[in-house]
Amino acid sequence: MLDALTVEIGDRLAARTVELPWPVEPFGPVAEVQEAIGTEEQMRDLLPGVEVAVTEMAPFTRRVIEAADALKLIVVCRGGPVNVNLAAATVRGVPVCYAPARNAAATAEYTVGLLLAAMRRLAEAHRDLKDGRWRGDFYAYADAGQEMEGKTVGLVGFGAVGSRVARVLRAVDAEVLVADPYVDPAAVTAVGATVVPLDELLPRAHAVSLHARLTPETRHILGRDQIARLPRGAVLVNSARGGLLDYDALCDALESGHLRAAALDVYDPEPPPSGSRLFRTPNLTLSPHIAGASRETAERAALMAAAEVGRYARGEPLRHVANPDALGRGAA
């Protein structure tokens, strides 16, 4: 980040840095903002005199923003500034920039990997072979994995990640259905996919992958009733947000055999508690919320954030502003 800022604005940079414990420690809610780490007190001590703040996970709550006397710009190196109270920033006239799609390629590639892992039983084969068990029984018809080609895959959400996943799936000749009430149908058709309502997608899908943002509207968008509508033997993947999926219902469906397999990268809460059912449920592949973690994601986010700081320093229009109503108001 510092290298990117130096390239962008040169010797005008006077930086104060602080390291927060994420990603070694998971993020969570801090006061009224979500997916943050650190404390309000820590931030209030750091920000006096700071004109521009660039962050990944620091909590910019109402109290923090009100205490930042010189703050003129917040830049968040993420696809959405969920760790910032946008309303409070807008009242203060502080624009909040972000880095849309900075991890879209990484997350899409990882999602396809999760789909393959679930459908072809990669994690089980790896684990058992390391434990000394040769799983030749996976050649048996009843236990063999399934190919992606010719299958119908349902995507719930069609943003920067979902659209990339759709293109990969079409390249291996899967049929792709998309449920997203906000999508432009022409964009879906352009990649060879089809827009359908969620109620139509579910009974047709051999596999479902979640790509929606977590909002009150989408919380548990796949609950017990929706999972029950999937065909017996379907596969379910979630690399978006844990709150989109009812995990008790998922575990029940895996234990009963209604679902053949599932793969998860996100949880609710994170990390799952040590006694979680997820660790005892069969046919479930798990990873620790790393779908978007790649070196290219970090490099891309740094360049996008530095570019916004450069535009601000040169008096140019900002590009990716989450609260455009703050523009021109000036900090109160």
- Residues carrying an active site annotation: 241, 270, 289
> What is the distance of C-alpha 318 from the center of its chain?
24
Residue 23 CA to residue 114 CA, distance in Å, equals 21
Residue 225 CA to residue 218 CA, distance in Å, equals 14
Q: What's phi and psi for 150, nearest 5 deg?
A: 85, -10
Other Cβ atoms closer than 10 A to 54: 23
Residue 332 CA to residue 330 CA, distance in Å, equals 6
Cβ atoms 119, 144 nearer than 8 A? no
Q: Alpha carbon of 330 to those of 8, 16, 44, 89, 325: distances in Å?
A: 23, 23, 20, 10, 11
> What is the distance of C-alpha 132 from the center of its chain?
35
Length of the chain equals 332
Cβ atoms 153, 115 nearer than 8 A? yes
Q: What's phi and psi for 317, nearest 5 deg?
A: -65, 135
Residue 155 CA to residue 162 CA, distance in Å, equals 7
Residue 37 CA to residue 58 CA, distance in Å, equals 6
Q: Any idea which residue has 């009974």 for tokens?
A: 203
Q: Any idea which residue has 């998922």 for tokens?
A: 250
Cβ atoms 30, 39 nearer than 8 A? yes
Burial of 229 (0-12, 13-18, 19+ CB in 10 A): middle
Residue 244 CA to residue 154 CA, distance in Å, equals 15
